[in-house]
Structure 1
Amino acid sequence: MADVRTSRLKRLSLTNFRNYASLELDPGAQLVALVGANGAGKTNVLEAVSYLTAGRGLRRAALGDVARRDGDTSWSVAARVEQDGMDVSLGTGLLPGDAGRRVRIDGVDQRTSDSLLDYVRILWLTPAMDGLFTGPGSDRRRFLDRLTLSLNPAHGRQVSSFEKALRQRNRLLEQGGSAQYLSAIEHQVAELGTSVALSRRETVSLLKTTLEAQASLGLPFPIAALELVGEFEAETADQAASDQEDRYRHLLQDGRGRDRAAGRTLCGPHLTDLCVHHVAKDMPASQSSTGEQKALLIGLILAHANLSSAVSGMTPVLLLDEVAAHLDPGRREALFARLQALGCQTFMTGTDESLFASLPDASRLFAIEDGAARMLSV
């Protein structure tokens, strides 16, 4: 990956963020581990980092809920990011009375958080995702959209616009809108929905290839097979993009009566599901053991980190919350070695320092306690 830029956080500053009145952290390494008791604020640090990219953060929390409880409802996260020797200052936060968070790059206000994607791509794995394969399809679509966003920075806006157009169509159906108005909005829904679907399919296709290549490395993480399923996928399979859009528009028009009765649009990529299969055991991931589901997720994240580097031209930053506690010593050591080989800066959390005993020597370990971070020896 000679042409891939290395993107790393050199310094992280939090103000009035969750349980932190103020926190200064100097990661200074590729692999960074945060250890401390439950409730100490380890995940809060990862959440702060997740706001340094587009989107709603790893908890998808309301912005006002992120502020420190005894503060003035404002909060901020700032970082110094290094890309191959060049530094850039990133900042984001909320001011009292604001509806959305503000974003600055080198002190210059930005219109949207999408601008941050030019400097850092962030992927994460949290305990809340442990039920990804057994939970609702909406969770898997959101997971896939996050993966797609790191490859295609426009994807987030496409999804938002598509969902907005869908809501407008549903409202028109409910209010008895004219056929002319419905046709106009269905044209938008079909165009936007097809764009979203194509981006997701491209991500799945590229990820399949990367997973196959990863299988040759002999990592102790099972390989997943991926497939997009749903009525829309079946109706538009193997069609050119323009034909998919036309087909979707006809499906919307023909389904007006059904959708009006249901109170929602019953066909489209907003209902597509990501099916994951455990290749070695030839069984759905949803039927695998809890431990194997976790290992499948880790394998997916590792493959996508590799893919994200290749497509975006920069190494992503990974946030792995409580990941080591669910792995035996052999898998932990293999995970740390693979992360180092990928070149991605990775922040990990755990309650026990011993979980990170096999970290490479150049890594950094911090104890999180009493709203502060103290560096430990590795």
Structure 2
Amino acid sequence: MPGLHLTHLALSHFRSHRRAVVEADARPVAIFGPNGAGKTNLLEAVSLFSPGRGLRRAAAADMARKPEALGWKVEGRLESFGIGHGIEMRCEAGGPRELRIDGKPAPQVALGRLARVLWLVPSMDRLWIEGAEGRRRFLDRVALSFFPEHADAALGYEKAMRERNRLLKEQVRDARWYAALEAQMARSGAAIAAGRRAAIDRVMAAQADARTAFPAAELSVAYGEEDMPEDETALAEALARGRGRDLQAGRTLAGPHRADLAAVYAPKSMPAQDCSTGEQKALLISLILANARALADELGAPPILLLDEVAAHLDADRRAALYDELCALGAQAWMTGTGPELFTALGERAQRIEVTDAAGESRLRAH
């Protein structure tokens, strides 16, 4: 079956890596070394093979190695459903991030048609107990993994909303100006809502059909106290009705940008925010695995997975169960941990890379 994985990754002046090269195959990649050595920086580089700002959501300039700040480059060879592609990303000092695919300039959204990358990082451990923005971002990345065009809808909505918010702040009251922007917001917003609903349906179906060591979650989209319409016509009408209130606030108070992802820990029928820290982590792992299974069923190959420090939060049995699921799925999962013993249960099923720090510079050694 054609796979989806990186066979070559090269970094130049990226974060703590002055120069780093990884040659890989389709197996999981176990990366180990002390804290601060540069393990997560490797995962961040891989996350750039999907649309967006990567797993840290950092500005392009912030990814440059310090103190030189000369700019950076990430190159890779991506095997995408039986076809190899050369990917190059760079950022010159003070300039924007640039992308080339097979030697030709390309927009960020083009990556979504070649690579599907999912990640779970420690900052997401508080997903269920912090603000809705993080959950909304998580939901949109799930939707983007199924529907690359979700990025275009989100960009269209954000652009129109920024313009509408500018009018609101300036207290402009010309209905014609608002109507044009609200039509664009409604069109893009309906597409966003449909993508989110369809993504949730796919993930929940993948959970229900799987035998897994991780608990299922019941997912839904919530809008707080308001019953926000999700079809284009009704959404445009709701935005028009809300102009008076929005003028007072100076911003758009309702719409897809206010949505929240609600989750219930199915085995206990308990809201995710009320679960223990361990249960919340297990839910996140379950959702990432379900997302990956659903993509594998739909596309014919699993996505690339990035699991930062995931092994440290699991006991030996559940850690072994996670590795078994990843290998059964056939995913190239890039995983980090502080020591090689965390990956013992993988045996020969994984590649291993040790990362060390030498005077502030990351060094790699394949095992």
Report if aligned partners of 2:51, 2:111 keep a CA contact under 8 Å in 1.
Answer: yes
Q: Greater CA deviation, 144-153 or 224-233?
A: 224-233
Shift of 1:335: 0.4
Q: How does 1:248-267 map to 2 (within 5 A)?
A: 248-267=235-254
Matched, 1:324 2:320: no
Q: Which residue of 1 aligns with 2:74?
A: 77
Counterpart residue type for residue 308 of structure 1 = L
Q: Which residue of 2 aligns with 1:182?
A: 178
Cα distance in 1 between the residues matched to 2:271 and 2:284: 13
TM-score normalised by L of structure 2:
0.95
Q: Secondary structure at the match of 1:337?
A: helix
Q: Which residue of 1 aligns with 2:364?
A: 373
Shift of 1:323: 0.1
Q: Greater CA deviation, 36-45 or 63-72?
A: 63-72
Report if aligned partners of 2:228, 2:254 keep a CA contact under 8 Å in 1.
Answer: no
Shift of 1:231: 5.8
Shift of 1:52: 1.4
Identity of aligned residues (%): 42
Shift of 1:70: 2.7
Report Cα offsets for 1:278-331 as digits up to 9, x if no partner. Answer: 000110011100011001000000000011223344421000000000001110
Shift of 1:61: 0.5
Report Cα offsets for 1:139-187 as digits up to 9, x if no partner. Answer: 0010011111111111112112201211211211222320111112111
Q: Secondary structure at the match of 2:227?
A: helix
Q: Which residue of 1 aligns with 2:118?
A: 123
Match of 2:19 among 13, 22, 25: 22
Cα distance in 2 between the residues matched to 1:343 and 1:74: 35
Report Cα offsets for 1:55-96 as digits up to 9, x if no partner. Answer: 100000011010001334310111112246643211111123
Structure 2 CA distance for partners of 1:255 and 1:10, relative to 1, 3 Å: same
Cα distance in 2 between the residues matched to 1:201 and 1:234: 15
Report the count of equivalent residues: 362
Report if aligned partners of 2:156, 2:184 keep a CA contact under 8 Å in 1.
Answer: no
Structure 2 CA distance for partners of 1:90 and 1:274, relative to 1, 3 Å: same
Matched, 1:159 2:146: no
Counterpart residue type for residue 16 of structure 1 = H
Report if aligned partners of 1:29, 1:364 keep a CA contact under 8 Å in 2.
Answer: no
Q: Which residue of 1 aligns with 2:101?
A: 105
Q: Which residue of 1 aligns with 2:30?
A: 33
Q: Secondary structure at the match of 1:145?
A: helix
Cα distance in 2 between the residues matched to 1:355 and 1:22: 26
Cα distance in 2 between the residues matched to 1:128 and 1:25: 26
Q: Secondary structure at the match of 1:227?
A: strand
Shift of 1:368: 0.3
Cα distance in 1 between the residues matched to 2:115 and 2:206: 21
Report if aligned partners of 2:216, 2:286 keep a CA contact under 8 Å in 1.
Answer: yes
Q: Greater CA deviation, 40-49 or 252-261?
A: 252-261
* CA RMSD between the two structures: 1.6
Q: How does 1:183-222 map to 2 (within 5 A)?
A: 183-214=179-210, 217=211, 219-222=212-215
Report if aligned partners of 1:232, 1:272 keep a CA contact under 8 Å in 2.
Answer: no
Matched, 1:292 2:279: yes
TM-score normalised by L of structure 1:
0.92
Structure 2 CA distance for partners of 1:167 and 1:232, relative to 1, 3 Å: farther
Structure 2 CA distance for partners of 1:29 and 1:375, relative to 1, 3 Å: farther
Report Cα offsets for 1:212-260 as digits up to 9, x if no partner. Answer: 112xx1x2211100011116983437xxxxxx21211111111111111
Report Cα offsets for 1:318-370 as digits up to 9, x if no partner. Answer: 00000000001110111001001111100000002111110041311111013
Structure 2 CA distance for partners of 1:167 and 1:47, relative to 1, 3 Å: same
Match of 2:218 among 208, 219, 225: 225
Structure 2 CA distance for partners of 1:232 and 1:201, relative to 1, 3 Å: farther
Structure 2 CA distance for partners of 1:179 and 1:84, relative to 1, 3 Å: closer
Structure 2 CA distance for partners of 1:277 and 1:231, relative to 1, 3 Å: closer
Report if aligned partners of 1:232, 1:268 keep a CA contact under 8 Å in 2.
Answer: no
Q: Greater CA deviation, 202-211 or 36-45?
A: 202-211
Q: Secondary structure at the match of 1:257?
A: helix
Q: Secondary structure at the match of 1:70?
A: coil
Counterpart residue type for residue 59 of structure 1 = R
Q: Secondary structure at the match of 2:31?
A: strand
Task: Give 5+ residue unaligned stretches, structure 1.
Answer: 238-243
Cα distance in 2 between the residues matched to 1:343 and 1:28: 11
Q: Secondary structure at the match of 2:252?
A: coil
Cα distance in 1 between the residues matched to 2:58 and 2:136: 18
Report if aligned partners of 1:336, 1:360 keep a CA contact under 8 Å in 2.
Answer: no
Report Cα offsets for 1:85-129 as digits up to 9, x if no partner. Answer: 64321111112342x21111222222x122222322111000000
Q: Secondary structure at the match of 2:267?
A: coil
Report if aligned partners of 2:204, 2:290 keep a CA contact under 8 Å in 1.
Answer: no
Cα distance in 2 between the residues matched to 1:141 and 1:51: 20
Cα distance in 2 between the residues matched to 1:275 and 1:322: 25
Q: Which residue of 1 aligns with 2:45?
A: 48
